[in-house]
Structure 1
Amino acid sequence: MLRLATLLIACLAASPAAAEFVLNNLRMTLYHEMGHAVIDQADVPLMSTEETAADGFALLLADRLHSDAEMDRIIRDVTLLGRDEAAAEIFDPWAEYMPGAQRTARAICLWYGLAPAHRGDLARALGMPPFVARTCAASARSLRRAWAPVLERLKPSEADSATLRVRGAGKALHLLAPDIDRLNRMIALPRRTPLTVEACGEDNAFYYHYDDRMVICDEMVDALMRGARARR
């Protein structure tokens, strides 16, 4: 953990809050792409777009992997990034993603609904109106029910080795190393899935269905660092 914290500060030359902003948004990117991998490799039937399903999976997975205090910080940082991106967004009615502001609102809604007994104050501070609280709790219950049998089926056995395999190096992979380890202890993907950091020409991340490969773009790491510095 000391090495991780040192690397964050050295990479960002910024405050701990800025360093955490980068890490938390990288975490949610990793969990979202893991959602795509699970959907593909476990043949999960969908009732929504795959992007929306992967968003829900990412929040559920984060809630299983992180403490309540960590989840509070994660949703704050996801909201900050989501609102920045929504402000610069050009609306595309054919996009697979829901509009950015709505996507961020849904993240807050599901995060609240996964533990409504003690997340109400922060949810309201993040803009969630009280009248949607019951709907958000019901949506989170549906999310849990939908993914529970899939996650149970993918639970690793003692004989399983890590299926999400880091290849190469990069700041993002160093920062995410503990989270990747926790993922491999929770989920055994049906097929070996390499995770790399590459130059993509855009601020993004991908799971490639044709060869079971997961990529975090160098440009995403750089963009998060710029966003973190802008908040100092």
Structure 2
Amino acid sequence: MKLVKTLANLGYGSRKQVANLFREGRITDAAGEVLYADDSVAHADVRVDGEPLDPPQPLTLLLHKPLGVTCSTRDPGRVVYDLLPPRFRLRAPLLSTVGRLDRDTSGLLLLTDDGALLHRIVSPKSKLAKTYEATLAQELRGDEAAVFASGTLLLESETTPLAPAKLEVVDARHARLVLTEGRYHQARRMFAAVGNHVEALHRSRVGGLTLGDLAPGQWRALDAHDLDTLFSQS
């Protein structure tokens, strides 16, 4: 792929704008030598204004989503793309969130421009486990784990029972919930179905991936090992 198209797809501007970067001598190699649009150079050796290129495609990110941020490209408030380099909004193909966390839910969020990977993650056939830490308004009554594991729980306005889910009691008002499907606001609606209310919700794990030491608002690109870990379910 020509360098002009590569840089445009990475969000550095339209092809015309990227061509101007070349004319202005702002595209160089690692040694500082000016590059031209038809040069053939390894991605890792290209610099824009002295800085390495953004990660190539396909790109998958792990983001620690803070509270108050929306999984959307457009919203009156803050959106997850505000936490990323501005160019990431302009990448082609689009860097999309893998599922969503609502504004009032924090934690592990994946974004990718790899359509096949996105489909694999969200497909019901994958049964990829997602772990949530819930803080509840009322104390647990004691039978929630059995109800959630039964495979018979119906959410309001739905006709298909939920798949069995695992509940671990942390203390009287805190629980860890592991889901293998992703219905709308599922964790909150499950606790509502047993007469409780979720005051705070945090996703701590997807498959075998955790947030590690990422602080709220921080992100990192995933490599092949991370993707293997994602599907390890460990």
Q: Which has the higher strand share?
A: 2
Q: Which has the higher helix share?
A: 1
> Which has the higher Rg, Structure 1 or Structure 2?
2
* TM-score bracket, shorter-length normalisation: under 0.3
- Flag the structure with more relative contact order, 1 or 2, with Cα contacts below 8 A and sequence separation at least 6: 1
TM-score in terms of structure 2 length: 0.24
